[in-house]
Amino acid sequence: MSADVERVFRKEYGRAVAVLVRVFGDIDVAEDAVQDAFATAVRRWPVDGVPPSPAGWIITTARNRAIDRLRRESTRADRHAEALLLRASDDAPDPGQEGPVRDDRLRLIFICCHPALAPATRVALTLRLLGGLTTAEIARAFLVPEPTMAQRLVRAKGKIRDAGIPYRVPRDADLPDRLRAVLAVVYLIFNEGYTASSGDELARDDLSAEAVRLGRLLAALMPDEPEVLGLLALMLLIESRRPARTDPGGGLVRLAEQDRTLWDQKLIAEGQDLLRRCLRRDQPGPYQLQAAINAVHSDATTAADTDWRQILALYDHLAALTPTPVVTLHRAVALAEVHGPAAALPLVEALDALDRHHLLHAVRGDLLRRLGRTEDAAAAYERAATLTNNTAERRFLHSRAALSA
């Protein structure tokens, strides 16, 4: 795939699928048509040049390909194809049929998060369709091997097809039951954008921006849901640090070493205001607690000023709500700051579930370095470097290993 097509694919794939689902009301038709359009772009753009509106070109081409396919199938008395073709003949669906969610991409997220599917499967499928994420990237987010995730996605589509699960626009009453999975999708898209699972660049700004946009839409749609506001606050507070995350050469800069004068104070102020609105409701949830942790970081003018005891207390609360290995790992980092690396190391070394996650070994390497076990620290950093496909992260981890040796 050429660089131009790949750039448009990463930025516009989800939007194109969402638009085509609205037009045809069928996820498989939409996805196949968009993939076909990008395959056509690979052949034509190097010869004809990139069109003035690449996204519009992709959507129009995909729509035409889908109509051609449905016409061929309708001639074989395929009633489903006939119905989809009839639906597509109306370019402007009745707004009354759109439901409460008007944004194409956000609507498709709610549609994909159907309660008949397992929660993790809803999230994975939506990331594949809308987030522009590959199966490998989704597998990394779920901490499972790529073949396992590929099988889950195939089974999910098969269940949708065999059970006749409709991709209808959810009603207002349907939104709360689907909200948890929707929030998970948006946050995973943000995380992939903030630290890409593969590639030469540390981050993918387009995905982070899209996640924040979706978060703002959710907050406008469901302003009385504290976890919606908590997720938006969390993303804004993390996003505020983006200007300080890399050095002039694109290398990773750790939180403790960042120039905090570069942090975006407007995003921090907005995130903290959202968090205060959440606190007034007194209904704490995982996203609100994570936002509160990041708000503590944002309050510290230097790394030395960080109130790690407050952060540890918040992680204790978060671990009680969501006792996952990832939460345990992050809590161990805070524990090390309060009680020393020796207190945290046994917790980290017991996290067998994260053995193939590079962050576990990076944290372990840092704890070992602080304990003076330099050879073990270097080995841990090198192990972490082998488990990431992000070039910027790998360079950083190799450098930490060299410093520890």
Taking the C-alpha atoms of residue 234 and residue 218, their distance in angstroms, rounded to an integer, is 14
User: Strand, coil or helix: what is 287?
Assistant: helix
User: Strand, coil or helix: what is 390?
Assistant: strand
At position 205, the amino acid (one-letter code) is: D
Q: ∠ CA(220), CA(169), CA(171), 5° rounding?
A: 65
294, pLDDT greater than 50? yes
Taking the C-alpha atoms of residue 373 and residue 193, their distance in angstroms, rounded to an integer, is 34
Q: Give the H or E element holding residue 389.
A: strand 389-390
How high is the pLDDT of residue 158?
75
List the end-to-end C-alpha distance of the chain, in Å, as a whole number.
40
What is the distance, to the nearest Å, from the Cα of residue 309 to the centroid of all Cα atoms in its chain? 29
How high is the pLDDT of residue 80?
53
Taking the C-alpha atoms of residue 321 and residue 233, their distance in angstroms, rounded to an integer, is 19
Query: Please, are residues 392 and 246 in contact by the beta-carbon 8 Å criterion?
Result: yes
What is the b/e burial string over 28-52, where b = at least 16 CB atoms within 10 angstroms of the residue's CB? ebbbbbbbbbbebbeeebeeeebbe
Take residue 194 and report the two structure tokens written for it.
Answer: 């903030």
Mean pLDDT for all residues in the chain = 87
338-379 pLDDT per residue, tens: 999 999 999 999 999 999 999 999 999 999 999 999 999 999
Contact residues for 153 (Cβ-Cβ < 8 A; gap 6+): 124, 125, 128, 135, 138
Torsion sign over Cα 58, 59, 65, 66: positive
Please choose, from the candidates 214, 242, 239, the residue with its C-alpha nearest in 3D space to the C-alpha of residue 228: 214
Stronger pLDDT, 302 or 99, i.e. the higher one: 302
Please choose, from the candidates 98, 92, 97, 107, the residue with its C-alpha nearest in 3D space to the C-alpha of residue 27: 107
Query: Please, are residues 69 and 33 in contact by the beta-carbon 8 Å criterion?
Result: yes
Rounded to 5 degrees, φ, ψ at 115 are: -65, -15
Query: Which of 33-37, 101-105, 206-210, 274-278 shows the lowest mean pLDDT across its residues?
Result: 101-105
Q: ∠ CA(120), CA(26), CA(88), 5° rounding?
A: 150
**Residue where the block lists tokens 């924040």:** 212
121-148 pLDDT per residue, tens: 877 887 777 766 778 888 877 878 889 9
**Residue where the block lists tokens 């190097």:** 46
18-48 pLDDT per residue, tens: 888 888 877 778 888 998 999 999 999 999 9
Take residue 326 and report the two structure tokens written for it.
Answer: 């990832």
How high is the pLDDT of residue 122?
79
How high is the pLDDT of residue 97?
45
**Helix, strand and coil percent figures for the chain, each rounded to 5:** 75, 0, 25
Please choose, from the candidates 80, 77, 78, 70, the residue with its C-alpha nearest in 3D space to the C-alpha of residue 36: 70
Torsion sign over Cα 292, 298, 299, 303: positive
Rounded to 5 degrees, φ, ψ at 164 are: 65, 35
How high is the pLDDT of residue 361?
98
The pLDDT of 150-166, averaged and rounded, is 74
Take residue 355 and report the two structure tokens written for it.
Answer: 């053995």
**Residue where the block lists tokens 């270097």:** 378
Taking the C-alpha atoms of residue 135 and residue 174, their distance in angstroms, rounded to an integer, is 28
Contact residues for 259 (Cβ-Cβ < 8 A; gap 6+): 244
Q: What does pTM read for this prediction?
A: 0.83
How high is the pLDDT of residue 96?
40
Residue 75: pLDDT band with limits 50, 70, 90:
low
174, pLDDT greater than 50? yes
DSSP string across 246-260: B-TTS-B--GGGS-G
155, pLDDT greater than 60? yes
Please choose, from the candidates 228, 264, 267, 245, the residue with its C-alpha nearest in 3D space to the C-alpha of residue 393: 245
302-334 pLDDT per residue, tens: 999 999 999 999 999 999 999 999 999 999 999
Residue count of the chain: 405
Taking the C-alpha atoms of residue 240 and residue 208, their distance in angstroms, rounded to an integer, is 11
How high is the pLDDT of residue 181?
87
Taking the C-alpha atoms of residue 239 and residue 245, their distance in angstroms, rounded to an integer, is 10
